[in-house]
Amino acid sequence: MSGCSYDNCSSDSDCPTNVPCDCRVSDSDSAPNACVTVTGGNCRIDSDCGPCGYCSPTQVGVLCFCPIEALCDGTSKCYAGQTEVPCECGDACGHGYFCHTPLDTSQHKDTLDRMNTDNGSFSLAPAPLLLVLSSSDRRMQPFLRESRRASQLACIVALLIATAIGAPADSFAAPPPSPLPSAQVAFQTTPQAVQPATTPNLEQRLELIEDRLNLALALKDEKIQDTRDRIDNIYKELQWVLAIVGLFLAFFSIRDAIRHSKESNRQRGIDDIVKTAMTQQVRLGKIQVESAEKQSSQQFEPVQSVSNVIDVVQKTLAFRLDQDKNVADAFNEIKRIKVERERIRKLKIDAAIGILDHFANVSRMQYTALTDEQHKRGSKLVLLASELVVNELDEFIKERGFELAGRLFYTCGVIAYYDNDIVEARSFLDLAAQCRAADHDAEARTNEKYRLRFAFIHYYRALIQKNWGDLSEASHEIQQSARLLEGRQSEFLTPVTMAEIHSYITGEEHRSRNDLQDLLQRIVQLESGQTAQGRVLDANQKRLRNRMLVLLGNTHFMLQQYQEALVHYTAAIGHNADDYSALASVAQCFQALGDKAAATDHFGRCSDAIERSGDFRRKRERISRALVAVLAANAAKGCANSSRWYDYAREARDLLGGNLAVDGLSPKFFSPATKRLVSAQDLLKEV
């Protein structure tokens, strides 16, 4: 090359004997051309190796060191046998290009080709092997692979022949063997002196050849078996894949078959419908044709021309369009009516809830004397609730909740009761009892309003049974109410009513008397406590105290204990001088005891008290009004007031006359003369 150049050679002739020149790969490569090694090596090309031999690199490009101390001396020199080699290149490891044979393939630890640097050939000796990959050898891999495959069999045969005729092994021996084309063999000798090579005898050669043949066959069998195992595994995997694919195909085939069957059935149904329609259409057309044939003259007389036919068709279409329009209008009207009904329903519900709020704080005793305005509102509330019951009960309960619905039906039941509509009252109270929580007992324990509502429902059921039904049922209902009201110290109405019901049952007078005495003691204690706090009993509590005293007197009056009864009646008058029930009872006691003057005086006071109270005009319950009318008539008769007697006797006849039975129930009335419940006819006889 001209100019500066770092190349050591440009061809094999520039290098020492049997040393090739390693040229750069391309002009763009910056690496210089260099001889492969300065010492060692016995070939450049395959023809230098004789028959069955080939030239290949050994340890080229691989760094190593002097493997044993015997190769070095004190002057840092290395020896391979008797030959001095540079230590830094490690030619003692066999760097360079050497001749090889196809038999140089053993990679097992029991065989090793060791270089004999004295005569440039290699001899067999045991030593460990180490495989080292060399990137520079990879360029020779394709050539080495092909050459080895082509000459392997021929060389084995030649070696066998040479061995059989006793030819020296060195005539076919080559430099140290190279491993697979992608690897180089790096020799590591054991730490002992290098011994001179000895020539193997015939038996050793045969054993060596036999071992190598067995090894080659074993490797071949191993590769064949490995290939077969891989093929078997692949075949099994393919079988699994095909089975899974078959399952998928079967699934989709069945699904498609089912879909196809369904679609066929649906299409068959549609075809049947179409066929039926077509058959009916043909039949209808046939009837029309027959009818037209029979009345052809009558049909075609009005039609004088094609224009007349068109006119008939137009009229028919117009009529059809008009009918369609009417149908559409009807649907729109239905929708409008539904919307309007929903709006009205909501308005009615809102109105009912608004009226219900006016009765939220009305007590049970206040229901007995509602004002005219309250009565009007109550009547309207009952009407609205009745419409809800008939049309939208379930929807109302679902929309507003059981608590609101129960309160509404309870209030309507009470109003209907005092409005003398016993059947509707009982129906509303039953509906109110049905509006309950999923866990009724738990709700009754924790929700006071819920518990009070059911206590009052049982209370009014007891009143209905007392006045219209059976006293035993009335006793059961009132006990249910009392059980729910246990622990309320201010509750007197329910226990007083329970004592009243027991007083009407023959044989229960003493039980009623004991209950009334306990209640009187409780109310006396309550009054003492109120007085200590600077307060007094309210109006309802005072009315109940007088009612207790009158009922306690009645328990003695029933047994003709007039003196004992007179004590309690007089105590009631002491608390309220206008208590006409107590005044009438005192008059009856004096009359029974023979004191006519006192009896007449108290009858007169009773008549005046009734007039002042206005209860006959204010009360709306038939049973209560009838009782007041009878008391007033008897009091007027006792004090010889004929005009009042006439007026009240007429009112009593109007209230008690006729058939008063409702839904198989007949009312019972309190008798002032016997202090028990009697029929309307028996009470009318007292007048």
Measure the CA–CA gap between 11 and 44, rounded to whole angstroms. 11
pLDDT of 453-462, one tens digit each?
999 999 999 9
Comparing CA positions, the residue from 580, 527, 516 lying closest to residue 549 is 516
State residue 85's pLDDT score: 59
State residue 162's pLDDT score: 53
State residue 302's pLDDT score: 55
Query: CB-based contacts of 557: which residues, under 8 Å, 6+ apart?
Result: 565, 585, 588, 589, 675
State residue 136's pLDDT score: 38
* Residue at token pair 């080699």: 85
State residue 514's pLDDT score: 93
Mean pLDDT of 593-612: 94
State residue 388's pLDDT score: 75
State residue 37's pLDDT score: 61
Percent of the chain with pLDDT over 90: 34
Alpha helices in 533-561 (DSSP H): 539-557
More confident: 393 or 47: 47
Average pLDDT over all residues of the chain: 78
3-state SS record for 588-617: HHHHHHCCHHHHHHHHHHHHHHHHHHCHHH
- Give Cα separations from 270 to 53, 476, 614 (angstroms): 89, 67, 82
Mean pLDDT of 47-68: 66
| pLDDT tier, 67 (very low <50, low <70, confident <90, very high otherwise) | very low
State residue 38's pLDDT score: 44
pLDDT of 677-687, one tens digit each?
999 999 998 88
Q: Which of 77-81, 216-220, 397-401, 491-495 has the lowest mean pLDDT?
A: 77-81
Sign of CA dihedral 223, 226, 232, 237: negative
More confident: 348 or 145: 348
- Give Cα separations from 576 to 20, 384, 427, 571, 582 (angstroms): 148, 40, 38, 9, 9
State residue 415's pLDDT score: 93
Query: CB-based contacts of 569: which residues, under 8 Å, 6+ apart?
Result: 549, 550, 553, 582, 585, 586, 589
pLDDT of 322-341, one tens digit each?
888 888 889 888 988 988 88
pLDDT of 548-578, one tens digit each?
999 999 999 999 999 999 999 999 999 999 9
72-76, 152-156, 639-643, range with greatest mean pLDDT: 639-643
Asked if 34 and 21 count as a contact pair (C-beta separation under 8 A), the reply is yes
Comparing CA positions, the residue from 495, 418, 502 lying closest to residue 455 is 495
Give yes or no for residue 641 having a pLDDT over 80: yes
pLDDT of 651-663, one tens digit each?
999 999 888 888 8
Asked if 88 and 209 count as a contact pair (C-beta separation under 8 A), the reply is no
Query: CB-based contacts of 551: which residues, under 8 Å, 6+ apart?
Result: 496, 499, 500, 503, 512, 516
Asked if 55 and 48 count as a contact pair (C-beta separation under 8 A), the reply is yes
Numbers of helices and strands, H then E, in the chain: 21, 12
Mean pLDDT of 172-194: 38
Measure the CA–CA gap between 173 and 124, rounded to whole angstroms. 10
Count of residues in the chain: 687
Give yes or no for residue 354 having a pLDDT over 60: yes
Q: DSSP code of 76?
A: S
Q: For 493-524, give the DSSP string.
A: HHHHHHHHHHHHSTT-HHHHHHHHHHHHHHHH
Give yes or no for residue 306 having a pLDDT over 90: no
pLDDT of 95-130, one tens digit each?
577 787 765 643 333 333 333 333 333 333 333 333
Mean pLDDT of 479-508: 91
pLDDT of 422-441, one tens digit each?
999 999 999 999 998 989 99
Alpha helices in 74-189 (DSSP H): 141-165
Q: DSSP code of 72?
A: B
Measure the CA–CA gap between 501 and 638, rounded to whole angstroms. 29
Asked if 514 and 506 count as a contact pair (C-beta separation under 8 A), the reply is no
| pLDDT tier, 143 (very low <50, low <70, confident <90, very high otherwise) | very low
| pLDDT tier, 91 (very low <50, low <70, confident <90, very high otherwise) | very low
Could you list the beta-strand ranges (E) of 95-136: 96-100, 113-116, 121-124, 129-132
* Residue at token pair 């078996």: 225
State residue 300's pLDDT score: 53
Mean pLDDT of 119-147: 38
Q: Which of 158-162, 270-274, 281-285 has the lowest mean pLDDT?
A: 158-162
More confident: 29 or 572: 572
Asked if 425 and 416 count as a contact pair (C-beta separation under 8 A), the reply is yes
Q: Position 40: which residue type?
A: G
Sign of CA dihedral 466, 469, 470, 476: negative
122-126, 350-354, 464-468, range with greatest mean pLDDT: 464-468
Query: CB-based contacts of 651: which residues, under 8 Å, 6+ apart?
Result: 616, 625, 629, 633
pLDDT of 576-597, one tens digit each?
999 999 999 999 999 999 999 9
State residue 270's pLDDT score: 87
Measure the CA–CA gap between 399 and 405, rounded to whole angstroms. 10
More confident: 290 or 658: 658
Q: Which of 38-42, 365-369, 438-442, 453-457 has the lowest mean pLDDT?
A: 38-42
